[in-house]
Chain A
């Protein structure tokens, strides 16, 4: 975020000179003298994206670092699952919570996975390159940087490893699905009950699956890398299905971001005693 504010101020100063030497006013091109001639409100989309992603990052950082109010039987916050450190509150442990040397918030042991997954996601790359890095802020609007090397060097070349974040994300999805199943119990651990938290956890798990399965790396893995679909009918079917989901990847990216926040915030409200669970049966 600091970077982004820095960018914006750089933008104002750097724009004129960058344009004159290397960009749209480079020698030989039509000398037009405006960074863009667009008359529509091109800045709204990057601004909204900037605000929404910033809000999400701030909220997530607060929840992840706080180390508190993440479990209310039978619900566990998405940021804290699987809860792996011995400091996890009773009932929230996962596989015996074996990690004893970890002294900070247990969320930090797992939250880097969704962070890496979303940071290297092809959609979020578009989102942050446009709204945080202004590269470009919108189409046919000159970017403020004098130099641009893209994703060819460290650290951005690591975005090419998105698939590994995707695989880890799948493991997490399985665990979060299990959490949603566990949520069909009541506060005393008896099965066959449902509350508002059950709905939030279930919907969240479903949306995370849709986000993950619509991933471009998933599309490549299930069939995209094949040249002869005709020899692999099953993978062709899977690729066709994933392609359908993939065309809505941006939508699932945003919906799942919202469901994560809602599901977590509800657990926070319950665990901190601010509300009591709305139970259906």
Chain B
């Protein structure tokens, strides 16, 4: 059954803005993004919103719904009561462009800083062979749709703008973990994870995991294992002494230089 919902939507740009009230019709089965589209169609034709697939797969429509990072296209109106006021704001960690659209280039800069996948030099691209059990851990991380809500919610940058130069956020720590677990990769990224990507900023408070729309266990399966692998190399005295006597079978190389985020 249709009803009229009370919406509060943040409107403005980098020079300022504020929350505006709207009453919008809601039909059965709709999601928040439908309501934002109806707002555009009926009351606020210049409302800026980024979206693409409306299926939770493109990662464009990230915003904050009643203060929580959500994909607008995957947030059903039926999860709210009819008399509830629903507040929509842009993500609060990235610079705002206009209304609900933010500039997420921080994430692209950090992505470029991760040393790329490096298979053994003598292995031709058609000859990659991997056992399923060796790749399945990293396959979980491949579900990422790059909505950047994890980086948006991470308090290390959300509450501390200055840490953006030194911390890459859960999305890219997960990328490093993915490559570190990759059976065909030859680069050791553990040093850069500490020095360039600031893995030590993460205090395992798990908000990234809480908001991930793909339900990736970012903290448990990527960041903590990465921290443990780094501890093997960097912080564990016994392990580092033992590794001196062991031939490094994988022969992992040091990470090559990558473009660094503008500081």
Q: Quick one: which of A11-37 are within 8 Å of B by CB?
A: 18-19, 22-24, 26, 28-32, 36-37
Q: Given the complex, which residues of A lie within 8 Å of B210, measured CB to CB? A: 139
Assess whether A140 is interfacial by the CB under 8 Å rule. yes
User: In whole angstroms, what is the CA distance A230 to B84 when docked?
Assistant: 53
Enumerate chain B residues within 8 angstroms of A216, measured Cβ to Cβ: 220, 224-225, 228
Question: In the complex the two chains form, is B14's CB within 8 Å of A126's CB?
Answer: no
- Tell me whether B158 and A23 are in contact (CB under 8 A): yes
Q: A24-B159, A136-B155 are in contact. Are A150 and B235 (CB under 8 A)?
A: no
Contacting residues, chain A, for B119 (C-beta < 8 A): none
Tell me the count of chain A residues lying within 8 A, CB to CB, of chain B. Answer: 54
Q: Judging by beta carbons under 8 Å apart, are B92 and A125 in contact?
A: no
Chain B neighbourhood of A149, CB < 8 A: 201
Please report the C-alpha to C-alpha distance between residue A23 and residue B161 in the assembled complex, in whole angstroms.
Answer: 6
Kindly state whether residue A213 has any CB partner on chain B within 8 Å. Answer: no
Residues on B facing A (Cβ under 8 Å): 10, 12, 14, 16-19, 64, 66-69, 84, 87, 89-90, 92-96, 102, 131, 133-134, 153, 155-156, 158-163, 167, 180-183, 198, 200-207, 210-211, 217, 220, 224-225, 227-232, 234-236, 250
Chain B binder among A76-84, A101-109, A155-163, A173-181: A155-163
Do residues A224 and B161 form an inter-chain contact, with CB atoms below 8 A?
no
Query: Which chain A positions have C-beta within 8 A of B19?
Result: 32
Inter-chain contact B205/A136, CB cutoff 8 Å: yes
6 contacts between A and B (CB under 8 A): A24-B92, A29-B93, A30-B92, A160-B227, A227-B180, A228-B134
Partner of B156, one of A30, A125, A148: A148
Contact A130 B96 (CB under 8 A): no
Q: How far is the CA of A152 from the CA of B90 in the complex (A)?
A: 31
Interface residues of A (CB under 8 A from B): 18-19, 22-24, 26, 28-32, 36-40, 122, 125-126, 129-130, 135-136, 139-143, 145, 147-152, 156-157, 160-163, 216-217, 219-220, 224-225, 227-230, 236, 246-247
Cross-chain contact A38 with B67 (CB below 8 angstroms): yes
Whether B200 contacts A236 by the Cβ 8 Å rule is: no
5 tightest A-B CB contacts, nearest first: A37-B67, A38-B67, A152-B200, A220-B228, A139-B207
Residue of A nearest to B152 (CB): A140
Expressed in whole angstroms, the minimum distance between the Cβ of A9 and any Cβ of chain B is 19
CA distance A217 to B235 in the complex (A): 13
A130/B205 in contact, CB under 8 A: yes
Q: How far is the CA of A83 from the CA of B103 in the complex (A)?
A: 61
Q: Flag if A18 contacts B205 (CB, 8 Å).
A: no
Partner of A37, one of B64, B131, B207, B217: B64
A139 touches B201 (CB 8 A): no
Q: How far is the CB of A230 from chain B (nearest CB, A)?
A: 4
- Chain A residues contacting B217 (CB-CB under 8 Å) are 247
Shortest CB distance A254–B (Å)? 16
B159:A23 contact, CB within 8 angstroms: yes
Q: In the complex, what residues of B have CB within 8 A of residue A225's CB?
A: 228-229, 232
By CB atoms of chain A within 10 A, which of B207, B211, B250 has the most?
Answer: B207
Given A22-B159, A30-B92, A37-B87, CB of A220 within 8 Å of CB of B207: no
A140 engages B153 (CB within 8 Å): yes
Report the minimal beta-carbon distance from B167 to chain A, rounded to whole angstroms: 8
B158 & A161 in contact (Cβ 8 Å cutoff) = no
**Option from B66, B94, B153, B236 in Cβ contact (under 8 Å) with A39:** B66
Measured CB to CB, the nearest residue on chain A to B221 is A243
Q: How far is the CA of A30 from the CA of B206 in the complex (A)?
A: 24
Task: Choose one: A18, A136, A148; the contact of B201 (CB below 8 Å).
Answer: A148
Give the chain A neighbours of B160 by CB distance below 8 A: 22-23, 147-148
Residues in B with CB closer than 8 Å to A219 are 225, 228
CA distance A28 to B95 in the complex (A): 5
Measured between beta carbons, the chain B residues less than 8 angstroms from A147 are: 160
Give Cα A10–Cα B198 distance, bound, in whole angstroms: 27
Give the distance in Å from the alpha carbon of A148 to the alpha carbon of B154 in the complex. Answer: 12
Known: A30-B17, A32-B92. A229 touches B133 (CB 8 A): yes
A224, B204: Cβ atoms closer than 8 Å: no
Alpha-carbon distance A246/B203, docked complex (angstroms): 18
- Whether B203 lies near A29 (C-beta < 8 A) is no
> Min CB distance, A94 to chain B, in Å?
26
Q: Are A32 and B182 in contact (CB under 8 A)?
A: no
In the assembled complex, the Cα of A29 lies from the Cα of B103 at a distance in Å of 9
Residues of chain A within 8 A of B225, CB atoms compared: 216, 219-220, 224
Q: Which residues of A contact B12 (CB under 8 A)?
A: 30-31
Known: A227-B182, A227-B250. 12 other contacts (CB 8 A): A23-B161, A26-B161, A29-B94, A31-B17, A40-B66, A129-B203, A141-B67, A151-B200, A160-B231, A160-B235, A220-B228, A228-B131
Q: Which residues of B contact A125 (CB under 8 A)?
A: 203-204
